[in-house]
Amino acid sequence: MRFVIIATAVAAVTLAGCGKKEEATTVTTTGEGYGVSTRDGRTVSIQAAAPQPPPPGDAPGAPPAPPVGARTPDFAPLYPGATLKATTTTTTNGHQVGSVTYLTAAAPQAVIDFYKPKAAAAGFATSADANIGVGLMYAATDAANQRSMQVIATTEKAGTAVVLSWTSPKS
């Protein structure tokens, strides 16, 4: 339950700062393999996604590929072996805003430690690195390129629940 509340709060805060100056289309996909597209709060389509086989030639013992439907920017990849729960992306005011929720067997600190060097290598500066009581949070910004990312990792019965959010200019 705590995971759902945190995921909902992060998505609401992330999307609230986007404004409503242009019509926005939001696509939400779930781990169950379907997607719902909405435009300004109205459902415009529902799509089923067929399961995809792994790419040929995957090396034995290599970390699993990200789940189908997990489209994140290069600076905010999905943690290896993650079990995707939901993704939400929207484009508004020339920016892509997204959020991915997933579960992993890795500890919250391992998840945060995975994202820190990726953010630094992409030119981000740490804006928050904290224990938030229910878990850990890491946030970073790249003001010069108008990009940001935030990771919240909490311990749940099923493993570590992660909410990864980002903002970047529309490409």
Q: What pLDDT score was predicted for residue 94?
A: 86
- pTM given for the model: 0.64
Q: What pLDDT score was predicted for residue 71?
A: 76
Could you state, in order of their start, the residue ranges of all structural domains in the chain?
2-49+68-169
pLDDT in tens, the chain (171 residues): 444 444 444 444 444 444 444 444 455 554 444 454 555 555 444 444 434 444 444 445 544 444 445 678 888 999 998 998 998 888 888 888 999 999 999 999 999 999 999 999 999 999 999 999 889 999 999 999 999 999 999 999 889 999 999 999 987
b/e sequence 83-121, b meaning 16+ C-beta within 10 Å: ebbbbbbbbbeebbbbbbbbbbebebeebbebbeeebee
Q: What pLDDT score was predicted for residue 9?
A: 42
Q: What pLDDT score was predicted for residue 74?
A: 87
Are 104 and 97 spatial neighbours (Cβ–Cβ below 8 Å)? no
Q: What pLDDT score was predicted for residue 160?
A: 95
Q: Which residue in 12, 10, 37 sits closest to 25, CA to CA?
A: 37
Which tokens sit at 107?
Answer: 């500890």
DSSP state of 121: H
Q: What pLDDT score was predicted for residue 38?
A: 53
* Cα 20 to Cα 93: distance, rounded to the nearest angstrom: 8
Are 164 and 11 spatial neighbours (Cβ–Cβ below 8 Å)? no
Strand pairing of 125-131 and 95-104?
Answer: unpaired
